Amino acid sequence: MAITSLLQRLSAERNRRFVGREREVELFLDAISSRELPFHILHVFGPGGVGKTTLMQQFLRFCERSKISTIYVEGRNIEAAPESFISTLHSLMALNESDSPLDVLAQREERNVILIDTYEAITQLDEWLREVFLPHLSVNTLIVIAGRNPLSSGWCSDPGWQALMHTLPLRNLTPEESQTYLTTRDIPTTQHQAILEFTHGHPLALSLVAEVFAQGKEISFQAESAPNVVKTLLSRFIKEVPTPLHRMALEACAVIRLTTEAALNQILAVPQNTLAGEARSLGEILDVHDLFEWLRGLSFIESGQLGLFPHDLAREVLIADLRWRNSEFYNELHHRARQYYTKRLGQTQGQEKHRVLLDYIFLHRDNSAIRSCFTWGEQSSLLTDSLRETDKTALLGMVAEYEGEESAKIADRWLKRQPQNVVVFRDLHSEPAGFAMMVALHTASVEDLNADPGALASWQYLQTHAPLRPSEGATIFRFWMARDTYQAVSPTQSLIFINFVQYFQKTPGLAYTFLPCAQADSWTAMLNYFDLTRLSEIDFTVEGRHYGVYGHDWRIVSPAAWKEFLARKEVTTAGESVDNTPVGEPLLVLSQPEFVEAVQNALRNFSCPDVLQNNPLVRSRSVYEVLRSVSEQVATKASMSESPLDTQLPDKSFSGHSPEHINALQNLVKQAVESLQSSPRDEKLYRAVYRTYLNPAPTQEQAAELLDLPFSTYRRHLKAGMTRVTDILWQREIS
């Protein structure tokens, strides 16, 4: 049919751009075409911009095509009063002045539809509509109500309305539907992925981004480069924010994975002389419970079993706006959240610790290298458990399915040798949904190592490149997989990675970890971000299947240093420059003989900074820990000052020339020497070392005279004292 009017042109264009919603449309069409309505209230609800009005207008077009009498009421255009609602109907129905809309609607025998959009604007009419107006309508009337929020409890608690209602939550478009829409808007396919990652299929967001391209303002899409898009979306989600503290609460909710009252209380805690002072100027400091309940009532905030969380797009928009508008406070929120989760990690065990670790890693979600490698929702019902005898058949079956029979034989061998190092992830039926096997290489026999190409390659690498010292261990995460998805991103895979993090944080003496991956290249960005190095020389093959290996030396970058390193990267995005060097020049991993020689050199040159700067101990883990402790004390004092934004620890580069490093080494040695005084047996050793190195006499002979000792006795005490000091420092280095 030829288009003869602008109205027809508008309708045709709207139809062309309408994508998806097949289920919703089918439900509506079935209802209006049925002989007897299956329900009389169809309630469509969802957050702002999700497409409620577009769907309602589509419903209107379907009714017009089917010649069904339809009234479209826009809630925001009327006053929330019964007389205003009746007056609007009177006008829309084009009735005579004396006619009553309610009487006319009650007498209609043919099918008719009333569409009420933006229902949240007239919620004051809720009881009147439910109790007075709607019950008097014709039985052939279908009422479609669209709004941001679920209907009030009055509808749900009434058994009559319960039977006559159908609820239709409206969610974002699927990735396929979103791509279809972008194609209809002639958006280059090269931009689809970036747009989908930002919009998550939110219809209004897709439309706004498409408009940016239509105006030719962007070659590639980035949320930060389109602040007007973010501003428009933000206004759709939030009409108004009552106070600055409410805005802080909303921004905190966007930054963290799940919001609880406890988390909100800690993250919003502010010094009395800063933000709290601003809050007092508003009249009062709101209770965190009030802020939490306000968040809970927002249409784009979901309530889960473990806390509140924003819809995906709402989170993206809030974060993009905050980063663009106030990047310093964005960094500060991350710092506070990190402190809270660090504290919680020390207070939790088991499943709760896993959840806190996921919350901790979530702070890195803004980087696309991390975002795509975890499932972030709270939907996982998996339980972490130890190995049971009855699990073995299922676990070996997984290995055989994904890695072959030869690998299954290797896995069976390790199950028998190290069953205590297997973690099983169970589904709701207590069946294994996946597992991880951590093989301790340092306790394995030569026979077992030779039977496994993966373990053998890692062990040989250690002997050549990073020999273990006494009391140190090394682990290969030899097998890890989900029952249904192998090593692909999934809730099970995410939990496996969380378990790996927990493993190296809690395992004493852990010097090295190895992680083999079936599709090694696909994990490069994420694993490099977490400071795992690709060790191509120890890749291995089993039964024709190739595995790439990543590794990390925890003696060079300890778990504590690793957390500090990640904190520096936390607020960067994939496109921003990131310092991938955790602690400047790498730490040195000294063998015991090398360490003894370095300590003796440090004692002999204790008062010579120019010589000490070349001592290997300047780049030891022990010196780094001293510097880190000092940095934390500085940061703690800074956090108590008037400026709460000193969030990062000073970066200590091991150049070998910094006075701070030399002072740290001197203090380390001095503490070890002075610790000898705590034992009566070692007191004499302390005096010999003190008079020779810390406060030296001109010569050793004079030192013996000052100590009133025969020279041979003095030499014996000095040698024993140096040995004791070396032992103390060595234990500190490897502990």
Q: Per-10-residue mean pLDDT for the chain, 735 residues long?
A: 62 70 91 92 87 89 90 88 91 88 89 92 90 91 91 86 90 86 84 81 80 62 63 71 88 92 85 43 59 86 83 81 88 90 83 84 82 70 90 97 97 97 92 96 96 97 90 95 93 90 88 96 91 95 96 88 81 53 63 89 90 87 79 57 40 55 90 90 92 92 92 93 92 81
Per-residue pLDDT, 561: 80
Nearest Cα to 458, choosing from 520, 527, 519, 540?
540
Phi and psi, residue 564, nearest 5° = -65, -40
Burial class (CB in 10 A: 0-12, 13-18, 19+), 40: buried
b or e along 319-337 (b: 16 or more beta carbons within 10 Å of the residue's beta carbon)? bbbbbbeeeebbbbbbbbb
d(CA 427, CA 394): 13
Helices (H), 507-591: 524-529, 559-569
Strands (E), 204-269: none
d(CA 497, CA 434): 12
Helices (H) and strands (E) in the chain, counts: 34, 15
The first and second tokens of residue 674, run together, are 């002075």
pTM above 0.75, yes or no: no
Residue type, position 95, single letter: L
Residues linked to residue 145 through DSSP beta bridges, in sequence order: 43, 116
**Hey, CA dihedral for 117, 120, 123, 126, is it positive or negative?**
positive
d(CA 469, CA 589): 9
Strands (E), 413-487: 422-426, 432-440, 473-482
- H or E element that contains 405: helix 405-417
Nearest Cα to 46, choosing from 237, 273, 279?
237
> Do 69 and 108 contact (CB within 8 A), yes or no?
yes
> Do 492 and 425 contact (CB within 8 A), yes or no?
yes
CB atoms within 10 A of CB 555: 21
The DSSP code sequence of 647-700 is -SPPP----S--HHHHHHHHHHHHHHHHGGGGSTTTHHHHHHHIIIIIS--SSH
d(CA 56, CA 99): 27
From residue 125, alpha-carbon distances to 165, 253, 317, 543, 631 in Å are 18, 32, 32, 71, 61
d(CA 437, CA 481): 9
The first and second tokens of residue 72, run together, are 């479209």
Per-residue pLDDT, 68: 92
From residue 187, alpha-carbon distances to 220, 225, 313 in Å are 11, 17, 20
Q: Using H for helix, E for strand and C for coil, what is the string for 608-655?
A: CHHHHCCCHHHHCHHHHHHHHHHHHHHHHHHHCCCCCCCCCCCCCCCC
**Tokens 């009147």, located at residue:** 128
b or e along 114-123 (b: 16 or more beta carbons within 10 Å of the residue's beta carbon)? bbbbbbebbe
Residues linked to residue 117 through DSSP beta bridges, in sequence order: 74
Kindly report the CA angle at 565 between 564 and 569, in degrees rounded to 5?
A: 115
d(CA 430, CA 383): 8
Per-residue pLDDT, 581: 47
Contact partners, residue 85, CB within 8 Å, separation at least 6:
73, 78, 122, 125, 129, 133
> Do 203 and 50 contact (CB within 8 A), yes or no?
yes
The DSSP code sequence of 364-385 is TTTSHHHHTTS--SS----EEE
Per-residue pLDDT, 412: 97
Burial class (CB in 10 A: 0-12, 13-18, 19+), 508: exposed
Burial class (CB in 10 A: 0-12, 13-18, 19+), 712: exposed
Contact partners, residue 121, CB within 8 Å, separation at least 6:
75, 76, 80
Residue type, position 63, single letter: C
**Tokens 């053998």, located at residue:** 456
From residue 67, alpha-carbon distances to 191, 284, 539, 665 in Å are 42, 58, 70, 88
Nearest Cα to 170, choosing from 20, 40, 372?
20
Residue type, position 215, single letter: Q
